[in-house]
Structure 1
Amino acid sequence: MADSAMEHFQGSYHNPAMYVGPMAAAGTMLATLRGGDRNRASAARTMQGAATMIGLMGLGFHGYNILKRPGGLSWNNLFYAAPVGAPGALALAGVLGLGERRMAGSRGPERREDGRILGGVVGASLLVTTAEIALLHFRGAFHNPAMFVPVTIPPAAGAALCLAGLRRPEAARRHRLARALLHLTALLGPVGTAFHAFGVSREMGGWANWRQSLLSGPPMPAPASLTGLALPGLAALREIEGGMDE
């Protein structure tokens, strides 16, 4: 929500549709937090479903923003136009919310299968998120060696999580690897935020000029997405392990 609001603010909300993303993100967060009450469960599902659709539509808007510029699909437009994969985070938030409600009502083999599906979704999302990070860090020329870390550990965690769901004799070893990589990925959220805060401080005027530095420097809320993916990945791994232990 914060990342979407800041990026759209940087774009001056020149298109009224740019208000929809941050509002949908805020609504989804509130609906998920308060959706435990049975009386609100239906409203929460509706909001999460709407968030999924809005996120998918946002991918179309961002794709159009890139293609309509001179040069079309070019490195320059991928670097400086609307971030191509960003709305997918909203769609994923909706999908994870709906998946959580499905898993809450499932038991036995059905719940274990849901855990494998969740692991596949989160694993694939880590790969896509890494591609977005790689694009933006490539734009920054990987000038700090630490910029390679979020494009190496998260995709390894995503691949390990997908493999952990397979019924193989070496599954236990895969689980240990996936768990370790997911824990490291979760740590990249706060660590990456600290690095981005340092990047903001190096902008003209630093934090004393925070109104401009926050918009021109590295996006402060962005690294938290890695933590947001690692945690449901660990939850999926727990369900997968529960199924294999039985």
Structure 2
Amino acid sequence: MYWDHWSLNRVLILFVGLAFLLIGIQVTLYHYRQNFHNKAMWMPVIASPIFFAAGVILVWYNAAWLHALFIALMWVGAVAGLIGLYFHVRGVGIRVGGFALRNFMTGPPVILPMVFTAIAVLGLIAAYWKGM
């Protein structure tokens, strides 16, 4: 399969790949700051560059197997973000004072795992788009 033009789903897949590069850098900085005290912290750090590479390669080389791999990776990313949300909410709750506003402000960023999931879901929308 070859790309004849830059369709919307092709642009979105490129955006998703680049977004995973950027969010991967941010996640790495946050988790490094916490010394990777939980092994689950490695998942988005390792997965983000893989998601980036898969998205960018798919934009330039639209092979069926690569398309299927991209879809599988985006499903993994969506689930990983939800798991991260659980860990981040739990991390806020175990701080002194529980779910107080100050703990949401200084504790693990609760929004970041949801952004990870949202980007993966956008990748799924682009991959399942009819124009592909």
State the TM-score bracket (shorter-chain normalisation).
Answer: 0.7 to 0.9
CA distance in 2, matches of 1:235, 1:212: 36
Retained in 1: the 8 A contact 2:85–2:114?
Answer: yes
Among residues 55, 73, 87, which one is paired with 1:195 in the alignment? Answer: 87
* Residue equivalent to 2:109: 219
Retained in 1: the 8 A contact 2:44–2:80?
Answer: yes
Among residues 27, 38, 56, which one is paired with 1:133 in the alignment? Answer: 27
Retained in 2: the 8 A contact 1:123–1:161?
Answer: yes
Higher relative contact order (Cα pairs below 8 Å, separated by 6+ residues):
2
CA distance in 2, matches of 1:191, 1:174: 25
User: What RMSD in Å do the two structures reach over aligned CA positions?
Assistant: 1.9
Q: Does 1:161 align with 2:55?
A: yes
- Structure 1: any 5+ residue segments left out of the alignment? 1-108
In structure 2, what residue type is equivalent to 1:165? V
Whose radius of gyration is greater, 1 or 2?
A: 1
Retained in 2: the 8 A contact 1:126–1:229?
Answer: yes
Retained in 2: the 8 A contact 1:134–1:151?
Answer: yes
In structure 1, what residue type is equivalent to 2:80? L
- Structure 2: any 5+ residue segments left out of the alignment? none
Q: 1:194 Cα deviation (Å)?
A: 0.6
In structure 2, what residue type is equivalent to 1:223? P
CA distance in 1, matches of 2:8, 2:105: 40
* Residue equivalent to 2:8: 114
CA distance in 2, matches of 1:156, 1:238: 20
- Counting matched residue pairs gives 129
CA distance in 1, matches of 2:37, 2:76: 22
Among residues 98, 105, 123, which one is paired with 2:17 in the alignment? Answer: 123
SS in 2 for 1:164: helix
Return the TM-score normalized by structure 1.
0.48
Which structure 1 residue ranges, 4+ long, deviate > 6 Å from structure 2?
Answer: none
Retained in 2: the 8 A contact 1:203–1:216?
Answer: no
Q: Does 1:180 align with 2:72?
A: yes
SS in 2 for 1:142: coil
Retained in 1: the 8 A contact 2:71–2:127?
Answer: yes
In structure 1, what residue type is equivalent to 2:42? F
CA distance in 1, matches of 2:101, 2:45: 29
Return the TM-score normalized by structure 2.
0.85
